[in-house]
Amino acid sequence: MSAAPRSYPDLHEHIAELEKRGLLRRIDRKIDKDAEMHPLVRWQFVGGMEEADRKAFLFTNVTDGLGRTYDIPVVVGAVAANPTIYGVGMGAPLDQIQAKWDHAIANPVEPRLVNDAVCHEVIIEGDALKQEGNGLDKLPIPISTPGFDSAPTLTATNVITRDPETGVQNMGTYRAALKAPDRLVVRMATRVGGAGGYQHYLKYQKRGEPMPCAIVLGCPPLVAFMGPQKLPIGVDEITVAGGLAGGPINIARARTVDLTIPAESELVIEGLIDTEYLEPEAPFGESHGHVALEEFNMPMRVTAITHRKDPVIPSYISQVAPSESSVIKRVAYEPLFTSHLRNTLGIRGVKKVALHEPLTGLLRVTVVTLEKGTSRTEVWRALHGAAFFKGDCGKICIAVNDDIDVDNADALLWAMAYRMNPVEDVQVVPHRGQGHGPKREHDKEEDSTLLMDATMKADLPPLALPKKEYMERAKAIWQELDLGPLRPQAPWFGYSLGDWLPQWDEAAKRAADGRYLDNGKISEKQRRKGLKPETKFRPDRDGNGNRS
């Protein structure tokens, strides 16, 4: 139907690409969306699989707790089961994603309005929505955390609202619980750094009007990425998606509300959000890793459901990290942090910023990697900059050098153990909001910030593992002897940390070549009387040297 030109794939094309690259599992067996679907996909996050081996799951034979069948397939993990899948959606290898985000944010592209939209191939409006199996109950929306959640919940959403004063639209990924064939309840975070849509809600509430809303499922991936991305309030995300695509995103007018929607979406739920009454929503397993308990949120009366003839419904697997939700946010947020420190604050030694993912879910632990030798004042500017860039990220901030594997908690503890003097290198800063977390009952309570400089303050002797060339030589023997698979864990070879001399390199080489007796002859010449054992010796090029 929609023949408008475009420079980006839709979800159907993206799924086909994932399948071509072996990144998709097609599940044709009957799967109960309420009790089986998310637990099945969850195994790839808690079953000891490598991140790189995770895939998207396409369910083609969906049933529910009552045995009803659905003719719409569901895809889980298609946007970000792992960073490779995210990269396919971005149309860029992982190492170019930072540059792609930086470029798109700096060069937004206005969307193109089209009349024919594929997401309008099927339209259900008015009373038709109330017929059994024709409203929200026609959609195979899974339960994310069976055993705790109280409703099938939309998760892979791009929720569109408009600022009634400026006319600028916002797009955010917010969950919405199904309540009736024509009613759902949307949850927009009210905290600082929470949902942009909530700011619109407050304005409609002041006017005494309901808020028009379009919940889009299955946007083209470049648009889907905009939902969780943290952009300043007032930036229309569709223009940044255009920046990512390198051309305009096609949009169409929604049918029953005054909003525009991405034309190549799979399915759109239009409606009016009540700004007077709230309705209890949840329990729902949350991305901070605990179950969000029941609370009042925003009911929306559905005024239309429109979709492609052959829609696929996406669902994000979230809750305890790692998850699809944490991958999609991590790949998007880390470039923002790095760019903030490097470009906005101009801190030169910054190599990257990592948001710690497993269990802590990105919000609580931030690791800033700095070049060795970055001055102490710059390290502290980086720590403060990372901790306070976003209101709900960076409760614990650690600065390390670039030999530390930031995804290895053992390596972080190692840096803290040997490179940090708590009395000089730790600061606790008061007055942090609670952020996204389970402690809702202590709503008014403040949290605080812990900053730690675990960078090297001076040169250290080398890491005591064989040099890389010896480890690699031994690896070849290991493989020749077929001693089993190896999964190298950094650090797996020794390297200099500054306090090391070429003369010692030469001595080590002689020793490894079997010529240690030569070293004995050299050291014999330096025998001295009257020194205390453990007096340091630094040989010069001739083998003579300083003692201290």
Q: Which residues bind ligand FMN (CB under 6 A)?
A: 155, 170-175, 187-189, 194-197, 227-230, 287, 316, 318, 325, 328-329
How near is the Cβ of 422 to ligand FMN at its closest, in Å?
34
Contact 79, 328 (CB under 8 A): yes
* Three-class secondary structure of residue 368 per DSSP: strand
- Taking CA atoms, 377 is separated from 347, 367, 383, 398, 481, in Å, by 10, 17, 10, 15, 51
Q: Which is nearer to ligand FMN, 173 or 369 (CB)?
A: 173
Compute CA 80 distance to the chain's CA centroid, rounded to the nearest angstrom: 9
Any residues with CB less than 8 A from the CB of 422 and at least 6 apart, and which?
A: none
Shortest approach of ligand FMN to residue 258 CB, angstroms? 19
Per-residue CA distances from 519 to 37, 220, 463, 514, 544 (Å): 66, 66, 22, 10, 13
Q: How far is the CB of 418 from ligand FMN (least distance, A)?
A: 36
> Which residue, 104 or 456, has its beta carbon nearer to ligand FMN?
104
Of the two residues 325 and 449, which places its CB atom closer to ligand FMN in the complex?
325
CB of 324 to ligand FMN, least distance (A): 7
- The CB-of-171 to ligand FMN minimum distance in angstroms stands at 6
Nearer to ligand FMN, 279 or 402 (CB): 279
Q: How far is the CB of 345 from ligand FMN (least distance, A)?
A: 21
Kindly tell me the number of DSSP H helices and DSSP E strands found in the chain: 14, 29
Task: Please give the Cα distance from 391 to 340 (Å, whole number).
Answer: 14
Q: Which residue matches tokens 């991405």? A: 262
Burial (CB < 10 A; 0-12, 13-18, 19+), residue 71, is exposed
Beta carbon nearer to ligand FMN, 109 or 224: 224
Q: Closest Cα partner for 218 from 314, 138, 359, 135?
A: 314
Q: Which is nearer to ligand FMN, 288 or 467 (CB)?
A: 288
3-state secondary structure of 448: strand
Q: CB 508 → ligand FMN: shortest distance, Å?
A: 50
CB atoms within 10 A of CB 156: 29
Residue 351, judged by CB atoms within 10 A of its CB (0-12, 13-18, 19+), counts as middle
How many of the other CB atoms lie within 10 Å of CB of 448? 10
Of 221 and 349, the one with the shorter C-beta distance to ligand FMN is 221
CB closer to ligand FMN out of 98 and 144: 144
Whether 86 and 79 have beta carbons less than 8 Å apart is answered as yes
Integer Cα distance of 3 and 203 in angstroms? 37
C-beta of 228 vs 394, nearer to ligand FMN: 228
Provide, rounded to whole angstroms, the least separation between the CB of residue 247 and ligand FMN. 22
3-class SS at 405? coil
Determine which helix (DSSP H) or strand (DSSP E) holds 302, and give its type and residue range.
strand 295-307
Residue nearest to ligand FMN (CB): 172
Smallest distance, ligand FMN to C-beta of residue 237, A: 6
Q: How far apart are CA 415 and CA 368, in angstroms?
A: 13
Angle between helices 11-20 and 83-90 in degrees, nearest 10? 130
Residue 64: φ, ψ to 5° = -135, -175
* Nearer of residues 145 and 287 to ligand FMN, judged by Cβ: 287
Specify the 3-state DSSP secondary structure of 217: strand
Q: How far is the CB of 466 from ligand FMN (least distance, A)?
A: 43
Cβ contact 390:341 at 8 Å: no
Q: Least distance (Å) from ligand FMN to the CB of residue 31?
A: 20
Structure tokens at 142: 């899974």
Q: For residues 302 and 317, which CB has a smaller minimum distance to ligand FMN in the complex?
A: 317
Structure tokens at 535: 């007096």
Stated length of the chain: 548
Min dist. Cβ of residue 536 to ligand FMN (A): 54
Nearest residue (CB) to ligand FMN, 101 versus 174: 174
Residue 106, phi then psi, degrees to nearest 5: -80, -20
